[in-house]
Structure 1
């Protein structure tokens, strides 16, 4: 082998770095003979980079670094190399063309299925303009992918502020923990109590250090002899904060009450001879008046509910004088009337046919219970039984639930591994179904402050969901000692505790272990740490060349996402330092991203590597509101400096690019330029300013082509928020003289002709409510559809195929047909873009609430570009909402949106309203309503 070849092989030690990845377990060494990928369904990961194994890399390295065939003796060749195609020697040594690259991977992977991704991978890798890649570039790309994956794994530790703290409860004697309780004390920080199935109470500090234990005794005789005739297990326990007691239910039909204030633990009293075995316990008291009546409820194994009210908990829970007389601390349930001054008891029979799995009290004097029965899986009942009971029916029942009174939402989970979201008053159909767990769900909790749902399943997997968008944000597989994925061990009845205050914590028990996770404090307005954007988005851009979505945020962050799965590919922070990112655009090749900031700085980036290519000269310290690629390497910017500035980035080696301020048309706008759009077929540029003036320029001559609307200093109109050229109509001979430019001014859309009779062809108010502005405009390729986004968070899709195509007349329609409309975001929609991918049509949106979403063109919610669960655009069942979950009609929620008597909106279109992903109505015209 030649010296040059050996030098080239060892120059960058990328293969050694890849070997380290293999040793870490990222890849398993395999040979071509025993590993051929013939179908994308063989693995969950349909990503070409993830299909390459060590053997593939070794053979690719030989192809990259192989010299001319005639210079090498046959025995020097690696046998695997003979299967690879001969190199084109007209290119530099150590590099491959696209065709050579595709042929090599096709041979290695044993299938042509990956040809499309091979070309995409080649385009991501090569940075030179001669369309070749070398071994160094190839390995650099792979290492960057590994680093992103590692960073993604580390981010889970960041979300939970470190790894979980796990302790063994050896005092449990290998019995599982029935319930974890949190105890608060004014003098000390919170502590925890675990109640084992065998009746051992263990007290822990806030760092899970064991402080003391207490073992329950069935009665005084058993305590004296130390023997138990019958094995008694605990079934549930609850902490009673206002009286500093713990109530523990057992299979012996007894309820024990332990004093747990400062000092030694002791049994205060117990109830015995209960009707049936209690299976779930709940305690409620008035936090604003601790001396008022409190309630202890428990459900039993016969589907009934016992309601025990403590009438004067500040004085006593029972008649102490009776205990002093008898010397016995037990209360026989049948004699509870003797304690009527302090206690009242009621029993509600046959709420369920099976054992009650969970019970909860709502201060409206309502009781919520769940069971595994399919005919009465969850029931909300008035404890006086005077009001209508609501019953939910789930095929395999409900194991756990949580209820938000302020939102009137129920969240349930059970054996079918699905988290369901319910309107409290609509038991017939869930608002959403959150799928992703593989084992039965054992615990649920709502954190309203951050808008999140926590669910825990039997295989020790914790999932965090977004409450508004019903998407999975994180999945954490907890690893307890002795736990094995293929063997799910026995757990206690209530292994999950979510603690809201003083600091959010999650505690989980598994067999005789207990784990604690610290959850960061956040508010509903903040974006979860799974999302890269914690500030308003300035926009979203679809990259058709690489099938990616780029999102940009005001905090100077951009992120790149895979459109096929919604997964984040990489993120760049502080791209403009501490300056706000205001706008961005892709160049004509789709390889470079141009970003601009509030201080007037403009930069050009390699969008696949995250490298800065050019820094464009800042003309003034003024906000840039628009960047437009007008030629292959020519960009222009507009903004608050009211000028049009050109930049020539044709020299790849030039980091700093000077500004061309010699725009021949001069500075004609008298106010800040807010909107801009470019029409390549006509080589026309449209700009609009704060005073409402709109100018169309000829880019070639740099002179005004037409004043769409000229504003004098005496008369000023409203600001123009957006401009949009209808590109297809500009090239259609029969349509190009009609309206081809749309301007959005507050909520009104104006349609302008600039080639024929220069005039306004039409206008209409698009939003559903008054005083709303249009902030996003987009159209499909043939300009038959128009997509609008507004400051109220709505997206609308209009049929504009026959609108403003002829001179306005008395018979011209007042507005185009509104096909679809839905509430997409909680805040302003900053941008929308309509595009096609694999013959399907989609819409991406970015909002000032920091989120970016993907929708079908009909408004079906595909998902958020931050969620953990992947989607597949060919499989609607993977979408965050689909027909099975939302096939329902509901009454109008806002009288301003629709006339309740006629069923029509302000445009005269009749609608059905459909329950959507975030509780807002989604509407579809009756003419296109299809299920």
Structure 2
């Protein structure tokens, strides 16, 4: 492991003290030997080899001056950690494909809720009772208006729905205090439970055991209602034979609970109507929420041993209540759970939506205050994290176990992706970028297809953009084409650059990826690279026409080299020394040899090239220069698109000779060369 990755805060403090002591003794900068001494002393008892410390020193002393100061050390470490954080964030990056796929909807009431079947078919319900099936690609399969419109009666409204996939049934909660059952295959009416105590605002369903299930609903009185049903298939068939009320076989709630196969429980839980309700099978508990701060979120039992005794006592003492065959009754006043049977979360401005993840034991809440809170479900006092970024109330939350991410959507149609571990925001898409407009009414995420469906006055589909799975026989180093790479003998590194403007550093011996930095040339591809004579600085050239000089070990850009006016693509570059002066030479589409003076004393970030050689202007290349190579100490060779090779004297700036592409009639000729290696051997 590299030394900079092993350093602790205590060791950094010891190093600082050692630097200060040497400075007080008149030693303002350290050479490599003194640096070795203080590093070994500060990091004791951990031993670092001389080779490791030498490499660490060279990374800090990128200008090869032979000495470093405390400021140099701190600058390197800060930039190193900053780029590591950025690299880590890029590896975690997860996005939705933008813009969203938009499907226009026929005129009508707002979509109330979106649900999905095991085969990922979407079931969508509108407030006016229009139920429709859609394919995952937003192709409508069929639809039906399940409510009959009668002129002498007020129209019915759907409050919520759930799918009983095991029984091929659809459950609707209506504004007329009813729970209605429909055939899922054709939306034909089956039966209904009427005369509920309150309006069922939020519905949930859970298959608990063989031919046993649980139907839950939260109502406008802040109560959680639970129907425990056994022999469900037979029970529903029995209800279907009852007399009809408005085309649906009907049974009142009081009559339904008289059945030996039905148990009804009603808990008074919240001080306001229920905003969301779900049964969590892993905890064997019901999670419900409301806008009431004192009872914003409650995790409670379905039955509760303590409260059953209390409830039976109330039933026994009450002579006014009607009894069923098994003695069950519907109390006039709903029962409250005992303190030990529920966990109450007090949350500012209440909770509008929540999501629970068993894998991470994580409960996530959002609401009107625009803050997403992360909770341990057994620790209601304080959240474990708070995610602040939304500018409007949080409407929808989903925890993706596969990706360790949280998806959130706010009422201004802003979508965000959060990292569960470090709570960082990885992705944001506003309404303008996603194309989702209008009032948000429903959201639904399907993990199987990694798709998010959003309903406003249109239906939108957002696909999660995933990295393609790596092929077992193929190792991918970059996401984009690799345009250049070089070996650095000083650090024993391989440095590669890609079309996506990414620079990656690899350990040559192990092949391990050590470091990377992105956007080196913005969005422009990196077309060429070279090292300085010390091997400590990297020079890159790009399609933007810029040369950039880097301390590539921490991604710090030291200088930017560019000509005035329009900058054409740079095709190749090299580092040369002429008469003890050092230069960076670049060639490309401008058909000129651009020489930039390299000096450690030059503090300007932007630098311009030296004046062009007169021979380059008068007798130089007529086509784009593609390659350059040097033969120390005097000669430089360049080759162009037309196959011409020119050898230059770098001291005088004159053309030494030209190597032309042989004509087709020349039997001894070969094709023009487009690439040059280092000139060796014969001097021209």
If the length of structure 2 is used for normalisation, what is the TM-score? 0.53
Cα distance change of structure 1 residues 248 and 412 upon mapping to structure 2, 3 Å threshold: same
Aligned pair partner of 1:269 in 191, 199, 204: 191
CA distance in 2, matches of 1:324, 1:480: 53
* 2:257 aligned counterpart, secondary structure: helix
Larger radius of gyration: 2
Cα distance change of structure 1 residues 232 and 468 upon mapping to structure 2, 3 Å threshold: same
Aligned pair partner of 1:164 in 81, 84, 100: 100
Instruction: After TM superposition, list the pairs within 5 Å mapping 1:190-269 onto structure 2.
Output: 190-217=120-147, 223=148, 226-227=150-151, 229-261=153-185, 264-269=186-191
Instruction: State the partner residue of 2:265.
Output: 346
Instruction: State the partner residue of 1:506.
Output: 452
Cα distance change of structure 1 residues 611 and 552 upon mapping to structure 2, 3 Å threshold: farther
Cα distance change of structure 1 residues 398 and 429 upon mapping to structure 2, 3 Å threshold: same
Instruction: State the partner residue of 2:474.
Output: none
Instruction: For residue 230 of structure 1, report the CA deviation from its aligned partner.
Output: 2.3
1:367 counterpart = 2:286 = yes
What does the per-residue CA deviation read over 1:831-855, in whole Å, with 9 as the maximum and x for residues that have no partner?
Answer: xxxxxxxxxxxxxxxxxxxxxxxxx
* 1:401 aligned counterpart, secondary structure: strand
Instruction: For residue 496 of structure 1, report the CA deviation from its aligned partner.
Output: 0.9
Instruction: For residue 533 of structure 1, report the CA deviation from its aligned partner.
Output: 8.3
Cα distance change of structure 1 residues 509 and 423 upon mapping to structure 2, 3 Å threshold: same
Segments of 5+ residues of structure 1 without an aligned counterpart are 1-156, 218-222, 526-531, 540-548, 563-567, 577-583, 597-603, 618-630, 636-647, 661-931
CA distance in 2, matches of 1:309, 1:324: 21
1:378 counterpart = 2:297 = yes
Instruction: State the partner residue of 1:355.
Output: 273
Instruction: State the partner residue of 2:486.
Output: none
Cα distance change of structure 1 residues 615 and 391 upon mapping to structure 2, 3 Å threshold: farther
- Does the 8 A contact of 1:605 with 1:614 survive in 2? no
Cα distance change of structure 1 residues 572 and 479 upon mapping to structure 2, 3 Å threshold: closer
- Does the 8 A contact of 1:533 with 1:557 survive in 2? no
Number of aligned residues: 415
- Does the 8 A contact of 1:371 with 1:397 survive in 2? yes
CA distance in 1, matches of 2:528, 2:362: 41
Aligned pair partner of 1:337 in 241, 253, 257: 257
- Does the 8 A contact of 1:556 with 1:575 survive in 2? no
What does the per-residue CA deviation read over 1:148-182, in whole Å, with 9 as the maximum and x for residues that have no partner?
Answer: xxxxxxxxx99434532222321xx4311110121
Instruction: For residue 388 of structure 1, report the CA deviation from its aligned partner.
Output: 4.6
CA distance in 2, matches of 1:177, 1:632: 73
- Give RMSD over aligned pairs: 4.6
Instruction: For residue 614 of structure 1, report the CA deviation from its aligned partner.
Output: 4.2
Instruction: For residue 339 of structure 1, report the CA deviation from its aligned partner.
Output: 3.5
Instruction: For residue 275 of structure 1, report the CA deviation from its aligned partner.
Output: 1.1
Instruction: For residue 606 of structure 1, report the CA deviation from its aligned partner.
Output: 7.4
Aligned pair partner of 1:396 in 341, 349, 359: 349
- Which stretch has the larger CA shift, 449-458 or 607-616? 607-616
CA distance in 2, matches of 1:428, 1:575: 57
What does the per-residue CA deviation read over 1:465-495, in whole Å, with 9 as the maximum and x for residues that have no partner?
Answer: 12222121221224599987xxxx6543xx1
Instruction: After TM superposition, list the pairs within 5 Å mapping 1:704-853 onto structure 2.
Output: none
CA distance in 1, matches of 2:435, 2:109: 14
Instruction: For residue 192 of structure 1, report the CA deviation from its aligned partner.
Output: 1.4
CA distance in 1, matches of 2:458, 2:363: 30
- Does the 8 A contact of 1:614 with 1:649 survive in 2? no
What does the per-residue CA deviation read over 1:353-383, in whole Å, with 9 as the maximum and x for residues that have no partner?
Answer: 0011001111131111111111111111122
Cα distance change of structure 1 residues 593 and 429 upon mapping to structure 2, 3 Å threshold: same
1:411 counterpart = 2:333 = no
What does the per-residue CA deviation read over 1:684-715, in whole Å, with 9 as the maximum and x for residues that have no partner?
Answer: xxxxxxxxxxxxxxxxxxxxxxxxxxxxxxxx
- Does the 8 A contact of 2:99 with 2:434 survive in 1? no
Instruction: State the partner residue of 1:425.
Output: 378
* 1:268 aligned counterpart, secondary structure: strand
Cα distance change of structure 1 residues 239 and 321 upon mapping to structure 2, 3 Å threshold: closer
What does the per-residue CA deviation read over 1:744-788, in whole Å, with 9 as the maximum and x for residues that have no partner?
Answer: xxxxxxxxxxxxxxxxxxxxxxxxxxxxxxxxxxxxxxxxxxxxx
Cα distance change of structure 1 residues 614 and 355 upon mapping to structure 2, 3 Å threshold: same
Instruction: For residue 312 of structure 1, report the CA deviation from its aligned partner.
Output: 3.6
Cα distance change of structure 1 residues 388 and 325 upon mapping to structure 2, 3 Å threshold: closer
What does the per-residue CA deviation read over 1:37-58, in whole Å, with 9 as the maximum and x for residues that have no partner?
Answer: xxxxxxxxxxxxxxxxxxxxxx
If the length of structure 1 is used for normalisation, what is the TM-score? 0.39
Instruction: State the partner residue of 2:392.
Output: 439
Cα distance change of structure 1 residues 445 and 309 upon mapping to structure 2, 3 Å threshold: same
Cα distance change of structure 1 residues 480 and 436 upon mapping to structure 2, 3 Å threshold: closer
Higher relative contact order (CA 8 A, sep 6+): 2
- Does the 8 A contact of 2:413 with 2:440 survive in 1? no
Cα distance change of structure 1 residues 393 and 406 upon mapping to structure 2, 3 Å threshold: same
Instruction: For residue 446 of structure 1, report the CA deviation from its aligned partner.
Output: 0.9
* 1:384 aligned counterpart, secondary structure: coil
Aligned pair partner of 2:461 in 516, 525, 533: 516
* 1:242 aligned counterpart, secondary structure: helix
What does the per-residue CA deviation read over 1:332-354, in whole Å, with 9 as the maximum and x for residues that have no partner?
Answer: 1111134433x3322112x1100
Instruction: After TM superposition, list the pairs within 5 Å mapping 1:69-148 onto structure 2.
Output: none
Instruction: For residue 276 of structure 1, report the CA deviation from its aligned partner.
Output: 0.8
Cα distance change of structure 1 residues 574 and 490 upon mapping to structure 2, 3 Å threshold: same
- Does the 8 A contact of 1:605 with 1:612 survive in 2? no
Instruction: State the partner residue of 2:241.
Output: 324
Instruction: For residue 240 of structure 1, report the CA deviation from its aligned partner.
Output: 2.2
CA distance in 1, matches of 2:274, 2:581: 69
Instruction: State the partner residue of 1:476.
Output: 429
Cα distance change of structure 1 residues 177 and 293 upon mapping to structure 2, 3 Å threshold: same
Instruction: For residue 292 of structure 1, report the CA deviation from its aligned partner.
Output: 5.0
- Does the 8 A contact of 1:616 with 1:658 survive in 2? no
Instruction: For residue 396 of structure 1, report the CA deviation from its aligned partner.
Output: 0.7
Instruction: For residue 500 of structure 1, report the CA deviation from its aligned partner.
Output: 0.8
- Does the 8 A contact of 1:558 with 1:571 survive in 2? no
What does the per-residue CA deviation read over 1:409-446, in whole Å, with 9 as the maximum and x for residues that have no partner?
Answer: 11111111111111222222222221221111111111
Instruction: State the partner residue of 2:109.
Output: 175
Instruction: For residue 588 of structure 1, report the CA deviation from its aligned partner.
Output: 12
Instruction: State the partner residue of 1:307.
Output: 226
CA distance in 2, matches of 1:433, 1:524: 33
What does the per-residue CA deviation read over 1:17-55, in whole Å, with 9 as the maximum and x for residues that have no partner?
Answer: xxxxxxxxxxxxxxxxxxxxxxxxxxxxxxxxxxxxxxx
Cα distance change of structure 1 residues 354 and 410 upon mapping to structure 2, 3 Å threshold: same
- Does the 8 A contact of 2:124 with 2:133 survive in 1? yes
Cα distance change of structure 1 residues 491 and 367 upon mapping to structure 2, 3 Å threshold: same
Cα distance change of structure 1 residues 325 and 594 upon mapping to structure 2, 3 Å threshold: closer
- Does the 8 A contact of 2:125 with 2:132 survive in 1? yes
CA distance in 2, matches of 1:298, 1:569: 54
1:457 counterpart = 2:379 = no
Instruction: For residue 573 of structure 1, report the CA deviation from its aligned partner.
Output: 7.5
CA distance in 2, matches of 1:470, 1:402: 16
Instruction: For residue 331 of structure 1, report the CA deviation from its aligned partner.
Output: 2.3
Cα distance change of structure 1 residues 383 and 338 upon mapping to structure 2, 3 Å threshold: closer
